[in-house]
Structure 1
């Protein structure tokens, strides 16, 4: 009987798998109140934007709302000008200009748009102000949220949400007021006579403003806004960004104001965390450039106030560049910035030219479905319908003519008058001796010109159809 060879299982035990939860619930950010030059600039800029947004809708021009997007009639009034769907190419051009302007300012100064003029940021600061006046400053709000519900807490919360909803409702009514005259919209809303679409959009934008500025806040900037993702592609080492100077600030640590902190190996940063407490996105700028930073400079104001109290030089956190932080020279003029600037200037110039040279009359020519007919005189006759659109803000008399064939006879009204914004439909007949037709299909042009202004004119091509020429 043969002996068995002993077998020992040396297979390593399977490693313990740890499950990592990639989802992290949002931690509420409690911002501290602060003062400073950049806060004042942001307030002035926000006030100017609010006056522009909430004030423009109330301006009048020639017995109508000055800025009014009249969707049912497809007329878009901007002060003394009327724009039609055919002019939407101008809106596209304006959006492209805005995009290139954003690219230019991003290459030059980072996310200053986000920090100072983005509606999400502006309304978030307003909602934070509402929190402060109803629930108190940072520590008071933190304490209030941790405390059990009482009558006082309920009233404070009710007041805060009341202000939020009030601001959201006014914002929504103003927005809808650019599409439905606001002097009619407000009475209709309060008398419950507003149309269904008006009620829907007022409700939609009220909820959107309340949710974005009141609840989502920094989540919109960090996760929902695409600008936070592609901005880093546009940054370079000469872009102005909000940065902490580690060469001056490190090593961090608390100290007494009158101690020789240099001898203890400490930098200027006293690790008070004020820069973190005022940040609307809750980041620590001392960790370096981060995608969450919106460039609002709140941390600069907070840090400068601490430096002033400590009798240290300001600027531990400042608008600077990566080149400057590493001791190198910053280049303000560089190829990419110059390219954006030239493209922006060129597009603005073309846009202004397009507005200035925009014709105030539009002409469309519709040919009758009957190709041609022979009249009693033996002449070949074609029938057309001219659509003449008066884009001017006044009554205009137009002169009409047709050209393109020798011997062409125009039968119809040669002079018409259109009211401001009116679209005329005018039937026209053209006839010609068949012997003068060079081919069965011939190009002709209709021309419409203002009787009192030769520069206001336009033309449109069409076809004159006849029998086959042998």
Structure 2
């Protein structure tokens, strides 16, 4: 007889059940303002990034925006260079180089990209500044949220959200200004009045939609979601643990020095009482933009912003304790007192980044401002006989990727006396032109059924602008 599995009867009417919430709204974080070394670095990195983002669409080079991704024309103007869809491989390489650079930086100094230069972090800081200007410092904001609605609360809250909306709109307009001339975009948002009195906006619907969309996402991400983006939406937080090792520099809490933590009186012999240097003031938690306690160990939410380091150092100054209870260091240094910077993985990533970046710079500098594609006629007859000559017909596609107009000459080279007669072709900047050509050769000069020839397209006013393409010439062998 088979053994029976014991079954316990569960009464569905029992009142002592425990329920687990699958979703719980995050508590609002009230970040304390702090000054210090790492806070200054965040200013010196964030402000130039914001200014560069805002100013770049307004700059012009050779009469055009310094950076414009013209999707309808399939042109990408970046400073003095113009890139085309044919340059898509360069974009792929740039993304790969950026990924490897991020890996290298993460192996060396952790998530400093997130803490100092990530747009989510920089714009969140900007929104938090607007919050402090309108609602006050941390304690005032907590008190304001707890009090009942009154005139002061309405004015402060509406002022904050007005600033947020203004910043969001400026961000949305500037971002779309990289895809459409920003002056035209702004003029398009200004209402115009027709002779009939009808009010209209002279802006493409797609441009208006995407401007408002990115403004809305900025308002949502930097104003409301903030740390939720870093914790739950950013994939970098999830795979960073693969990049970390014991010698990665990150924000660390020195447990040996800090524990056991607790308050104490000034000039108290706290070590005799078995206490460490941590006074348990919780400032490191109050300044954390992602609301974690670094004293609980390294956590994936930590963005390595260093604000807890500044907060702890300021408390250590008040207590006349040495700095470094919380510091940027490696786990190995905390445990053994030393960090190994010469690691195979770090060396491998660094070498790969330097090699790929060097190849990328060479490809950019050696990039031809013209491209040529040649297709031989695939008609019923592979060649034509005209008197004593054999003729092949080709289609030449010329893409003038230079930032100027040019006249182009087409010539042919080969070992069997090939000739080509064709008038110069005029192409405007960025123009793609397709032209048929006829290449001929004396019948008696052909020694093979399939000969190799080269078609060259050269600018008349600049010999350095030239492209050569290999193709084949087919004809009967002379007897």
Query: TM-score when scaled to structure 2?
Result: 0.90
Structure 1 residue 228 corresponds to structure 2 residue 222: no
Deviation of 1:23 after TM superposition, in Å, equals 2.2
Which of 341, 345, 351 does residue 342 from structure 1 map onto?
Answer: 351
Unaligned runs of 5+ in 1: 1-9
**Structure 1 stretch 62-71 or stretch 374-383: which is displaced more?**
374-383
Which residue number corresponds to residue 412 of structure 2? 402
Equivalent-residue separation in structure 2 for 1:382 and 1:45 (angstroms): 61
Task: Give secondary structure in 1 for the equivalent of 2:399.
Answer: strand
Identify the range of structure 1 (18-27 vs 191-200) with the bigger mean alpha-carbon deviation: 18-27
SS at match of 1:326: helix
* 1:260 corresponds to 2:269: yes
Cα distance between partner residues in 2 of 1:297 and 1:199:
39
Whether the 8 Å CA contact 1:412–1:427 is kept in 2: the answer is no
- Distance in 2 (CA, whole Å) between partners of 1:386 and 1:11 is 81
Aligned residues, how many? 460
User: 3-state DSSP class of the match of 1:399?
Assistant: strand
Residue ranges of structure 2 left out of the alignment (5+ in a row)? 1-5, 192-200
Describe the superposition over 1:211-241 as per-residue Cα deviations: whole angstroms up to 9, x where unpaired.
1111111111111111001101110100001
Superposed displacement of residue 30, structure 1: 1.1
Kept in 1, the 8 Å contact 2:447–2:477? The answer is no
Partner of 1:204: 213
Q: What residue in structure 1 maps to residue 441 of structure 2?
A: 432
SS at match of 1:82: strand
CA distance in 1, matches of 2:160, 2:259: 40
Cα distance per residue 1:214-272 (max 9 Å; x no partner) = 11111111111110011011101000010111111111111122222222221111111
Distance (Å, rounded) in 1 between the aligned partners of 2:415 and 2:209: 56
Q: Counterparts of 2:253 and 2:208 in 1: how far apart (Å)?
A: 48
Residues 51-96 of structure 1, C-alpha deviation per residue, up to 9 Å, x if partnerless? 2211111111111111111111111111221111111111111111
1:329-408 to 2 correspondences below 5 Å: 329-370=338-379, 371-372=381-382, 374=384, 377=387, 379-404=389-414, 406-408=416-418
Residue 29 of structure 1 contacts residue 280 of structure 1 at CA under 8 Å; is this kept in 2?
Answer: yes
Per-residue deviation, 1:467: 6.7
Q: Summarize the alignment of residues 174-189 of structure 1 with structure 2, pairs less than 5 Å apart.
A: 174-189=174-189
CA distance in 2: counterparts of 1:377 and 1:17, whole angstroms: 101
Measured after TM superposition, the shift of residue 113 of structure 1 is 0.3
Per the normalisation by structure 1, the TM-score is: 0.92
1:412 aligned residue: 422
Detail structure 1 runs of 4+ shifted over 6 Å in the superposition: 467-470
- Could you say if the C-alpha distance between residues 107 and 436 of structure 1 is closer, same or farther in structure 2, counting changes exceeding 3 Å? same
Following the alignment from structure 1 to structure 2, what is the Cα–Cα distance between the partners of residues 141 and 347?
A: 49
Secondary structure of the 1:447 match is: strand
* Partner residue, 1:313: 322
| Deviation per residue, 1:266-302 (Å, 9 max, x gap) | 1111111011011000000100000110000111111
User: Could you tell me which of 215, 219, 226 is aligned with 2:228?
Assistant: 219
How far the C-alpha of 1:469 sits from its partner, in A, is 9.2
